[in-house]
Structure 1
Amino acid sequence: MKPATDLCHTCQSFSSTLSCSGNLNEEEKEDILSKYQEHVGHVKEQRDHYRDQCAAAKSTFVQLTPEQKIRGQPPCTLQSEFHYSFDYAQQVHYPHYAQQVGPLFFKTPRKCQCFGICCEGSGTQIFYLVDEAQHSNKGANTVTSMLHHHFMYHGLGETDVKLHMDNCSGQNKNNTVIGYGMWRVMTGLHESVEFSMMEV
């Protein structure tokens, strides 16, 4: 496998089936291969959709005036559409040393949750660092709270928003997050909210 190759479970099962397909007849091999190609085509479609949304957001952001590019604008003050991506990163430990110091090896470093929201148009990210003392889990309520804080204090005031997230049902793909999007539209904080998810 090439370095940094990230295969999904479906791709791995297809490739392992194809590599051990000596006992299968030609029709079965063709069936597996066509399903594999269909899966890869579906993933490519989703990636192209994501890239198109990012490109549209960048072209919109370029046309804004310097005053409109300032973060923290009131909701629905900019008749425009923007695209955001958000996700949790790996836990950060601190204090962090590139070279592990001897006595520090026996101590448990303090953990910090890292949640990032990227404005694809401007290419900037806002990170939320949550200390372990806050005892915050990675659930839907936490995601919704940080999204709401971001739109209130770091948003561009766009009327329409497109959000890209992963398929994690505990964090993103659930009634709480989707209900939050509906609530934003119903209360006039956005005119439309669109959720998109990549293939698992």
Structure 2
Amino acid sequence: MVSENIDASVDNDSNNEDDQIDGRSLSEDENHVRNVPSAGVHEQGECDPDWLAVEHFMKGCGCGRHCQKNFTPSSVYQSILDMCEKSKDEKEMFLMGILSNCLDTSSSTKRGKKGFRVRTHFAINGASVCRETFQLFFDVKRAVLYALIQTVNQGGCTPRTHGNRGRKPKHALMFDDVNRVVQFIMNTSEEIGLPYPAAPRGKDNIPIVFLPSSTTKLHLHAHYSSACEERNVRCVKISAFKSILLHCVPHIKIAKPREDVCGTCERLRRDIVGAVTEDEKLHALTAMETHITDARKERNVCLNCVQMAVSDPVRYCHFTFDFCQSVSLPHYGRQMGQIYFMTLRKVQIFGFRKSGDKQLNFLIDENETHGKDGKMTHGPNAVLSMIDWALEATSNQSRSFIIHADNCPGN
């Protein structure tokens, strides 16, 4: 009897201990589940939207099967994190492998009729779940899920490709469209553009052509649209027009107001600003308008001469010459910092250009200058000597030739 009582007491104690342990574990799990939301809060205090979605899911999935009972919050949350770590292609291939076992490919319905629609029975780890649970567990949107189902149904588990891949869109620009824009811009630059004699340092060998500062891209596009309507051809939009102007003809630019000036313009602008009386203002304004009109006439005459020399080089020759700013040697166009020398070596540059052909550059070193301290390098004797040599080297048997030069009195 004693032994039986002892055994019974031991059994009761062990059962009580198991109950206590089970009760402790259940209570700890419950406390863990209640305290899990704190794990979904970042150190900055911002709530994790994935964890909030898991919390909402654990309250009820919305279907009559109560799918949330088959999962724990930590398992659902870990599954979402695992899917987020996968790339787009890896995630799609993984889901298509699961969906391939969920499709009901039976060709008949419950009533024995021919089936036209493929049914999908979603399952996770062998347990049947609803679509909302499947989307949350594998972190997939509804539209993507339906697209994956359609891909598996039509072609099996194959990587998805966009339907427009390799297909040229309807609004794509053709070569003729781009060529018309380029030709229009180049023709406009020949009519109203002011070409530089040489390309800037550090750039390619194409000289920059500046359009007047009063011209805008919108104004150019309006003229281009009118020309396209007259010829009954396709007209590109303003955004494509700007892109072609920037990438196809980068040497044609619209001059800024500070770049489209000369010494006379600056002097007349100061007169306009400093004018006090009405008569002074009218006089300054009239002088500015006259100067602009004369400059346009000179530009048109120069452009006409260039066009004649290019179109008929046998009858006409057109020359332009001018001095460039002196260059100090050693010189590096893309110099990051200063180069220290006791005294830099100055070189004078005299440019002589034949329109439609080439340009000659005369480099005058310090020991080749004329006059005392090189003051006569820009004088008439030096200029005439270089022009005479350039004419003998470049001119042909043309009937007439035209020379344009700077209005510097020393030249």
Answer whether contact 1:110 1:132 (CA < 8 A) is retained. Answer: yes
Partner of residue 88 from structure 1, selected from 289, 313, 323 = 323
Distance 1:24 1:94, change over 3 A: same
Structure 2 residue 294 is the aligned partner of structure 1 residue 47: no
The CA distance in 1 between the partners of 2:288 and 2:331, in whole Å, is 43
Residue 132 of structure 1 corresponds to which residue in structure 2? Answer: 366
Q: Distance in 2 between matches of 1:166 and 1:30?
A: 29
1:99 corresponds to which of 318, 335, 352: 335
Q: How do residues 13-162 of structure 1 correspond to structure 2 at under 5 angstroms?
A: 13-21=267-275, 23-25=276-278, 28-61=280-313, 80-97=315-332, 98-99=334-335, 104-122=339-357, 124-136=358-370, 137-162=377-402
Aligned residues between the structures:
150
Q: Distance in 1 between matches of 2:348 and 2:284?
A: 41
User: Does the 8 Å contact 2:317/2:395 carry over to 1?
Assistant: no
Task: Look up the equivalent residue of 1:16 and give its one-letter code.
Answer: R
1:168 and 2:408 correspond: yes
Q: Which one-letter code corresponds to 1:139 in the other structure?
A: G
Task: Normalising by structure 1, report the TM-score.
Answer: 0.64
Bigger proportion of residues as strand: 1
CA 14–130 in structure 1, closer or farther in 2 if over 3 Å, else same = closer
The separation in 2 between residues aligned to 1:100 and 1:107, in whole angstroms, is 19
The higher radius of gyration belongs to: 2
Q: Give the gaps of 5 or more residues in structure 1.
A: 62-77, 172-200
Contact 1:54–1:120 (Cα < 8 Å) also in 2: yes
After the TM superposition, which segments of 4 or more aligned residues of structure 1 sit over 6 Å from their partners?
none
- % identical equivalent positions: 30
Does 1:11 pair with 2:260?
no
Higher helix share: 2
Structure 2: runs of 5 or more not aligned: 1-255, 371-376
Choose between structure 1 and 2 for higher RCO, CA contacts under 8 A separated by at least 6 residues: 1
The whole-number CA distance in structure 2 between the counterparts of 1:29 and 1:3 is: 21
Conserved 8 A contact 2:354-2:394: no
1:138 Cα deviation (Å)?
1.4
Compute the TM-score of the two structures, normalised by the length of structure 2.
0.33
| 2:325 aligned counterpart, secondary structure | coil
